[in-house]
Structures are given as structure tokens and as C-alpha cells.
Chains A and B, each alone.
Chain A
Amino acid sequence: EAGVAQSPRYKIIEKRQSVAFWCNPISGHATLYWYQQILGQGPKLLIQFQNNGVVDDSQLPKDRFSAERLKGVDSTLKIQPAKLEDSAVYLCASSWGQGVAPLHFGNGTRLTVT
């Protein structure tokens, strides 16, 4: 089966600019996650979707971050405006159900904010 697809692979922007990341989960996976991984740290959950509804966005900085999953398939994560501390790898993951199923991760998007 095809894995989780993410693009772009790398992105460099200046602070205060905006950026968007795209994710296409594994076919049939109802749950989609966006994680932020700062260098040297473990992934931190930003937002979790079940189909096209938000299950958890408690750690999403909503003043600058937004995400959507229209039609319950692919998803877009946006940052506007970016700050230096947003430099990180943004990982998308999916699972076949909400709960205990293992997560399948994409390769991530490495964002550098200068």
C-alpha cells in the first residue's frame, strides 16, 4: 500500500511569511494527525482529525496555525505568520481508526524560518 505522502519536503521562509503543508494519508485511514517535531525532541501533537472533524487541537497555536481536512481525505496545515520558533519538522500521520491503532507517518516537511 502507498504510504503517507507529504509535501513539500523542505521549506525555507522568512519570519512573518506564511506557509502551507499538504498531507495525503493512507487510503482508508479515517484518522489523521499533524505533529510538530523540534530538533532533539519527540513529536508533539498539534491536531487530530477523525474523518473531517477535529478530535483534538488543544496544542495548536490557533492564533497562527490552522488546519483543515476537507472531504475527510487529504489535509493542509498552514502557518501565518511564521515565527522563528516554528522551525521544526512537521509530520503527518494516519491510522485506520481512532484509538490504539499504530500511527503511520510520512517523511515530514522540514521548515526553516529565518
Chain B
Amino acid sequence: AQKVTQAQTEISVVEKEDVTLDCVYETRDTTYYLFWYKQPPSGELVFLIRRNSFDEQNEISGRYSWNFQKSTSSFNFTITASQVVDSAVYFCALLNTGGFKTIFGAGTRLFVKA
């Protein structure tokens, strides 16, 4: 079975704090892809990053960084020096290459206060 768990329902931080959003996934596939999407109040989900199951290198893009660990089936997302504009719901997603169906977690709502 494929499953994505985002245990943190809501997180509230003060601007400039670092924050980590957790994502744990389950899959029996050896080849799969993991994604993070951002959903601002406007409602449109925006793609942030994609990782395949064979690439465990961490990635950094500006204030965003991602830590992929197959040993713990986790794909965590860290925002450094958070800003008010980072306030949104963040979704982790899993794509199994067998069925090409993207499964989303329940999302983590991030509030960044000025």
C-alpha cells in the first residue's frame, strides 16, 4: 500500500525562525518519486521539488532544503529564516511508477507571524 503521513497538522513560528516539516512515506516499490507542493491561500498548489528513490542527496534551494532518508522513509522539508510569505499549507506526495498515481499527505499548515 502507498501512504504519505504528515503528522504535523499545524505549525506556528515567528518570522526568521527555522522550521522543519516532516513527511513519512510507505511504499513497496523500489522506484518511486517524492514531491513537495505549496498551497498558498489562493488555493493553487505549486510544485517545489521532486526526488527519485535512487537519489538520497540532500538539496538546498535558497532558504529551502530537503532531507531524504530511505532508511527511515522520510523526506523532510526545512525552511531557514522563515518569512510571512511562507505561510501556506505544504503537501508531501508520493508517486509510484507502477501506476503513475500521485498520492498526497494531509498537509501541514504553516503560520509565520511577523
* A residues in contact (CB < 8 Å) with B: 3, 40-45, 48, 55-56, 89, 91, 93, 98-100, 102-108, 110
Contact = CB atoms under 8 A, between A and B. Distances in A.
Main secondary structure of the interface of B (DSSP, over half): strand
A41 B106 contact: yes
Interface in B78-96: 91, 93, 95
A45 B106 contact: no
25 contacts: A40-B106, A42-B93, A43-B45, A43-B91, A43-B104, A44-B104, A45-B101, A45-B102, A48-B101, A56-B101, A89-B43, A91-B45, A99-B95, A99-B100, A100-B33, A100-B50, A100-B100, A102-B50, A103-B37, A103-B102, A105-B44, A105-B46, A106-B44, A107-B42, A107-B43
Main secondary structure of the interface of A (DSSP, over half): loop
A105 B50 CA distance: 16
B97 interface: yes
A108 B43 CA distance: 7
A110 B6 CA distance: 24
Contacts of A104: 47
Interface residues of B, number: 26
A89 B100 CA distance: 23
B62 interface: no
**6 pairs of A and B residues whose beta carbons are closest in the complex:** A42-B104, A102-B47, A105-B45, A108-B43, A107-B44, A107-B43
Contacts of B50: 100, 102
Contacts of B104: 42-44
Contacts of B33: 100
Contacts of A45: 101-103
Nearest to A45: B101
A99 B97 contact: yes
Interface string B97-114: 101111111110000000
B21 to A, nearest CB: 13
Contacts of B64: none
A42 B102 contact: no
Contacts of B35: 102
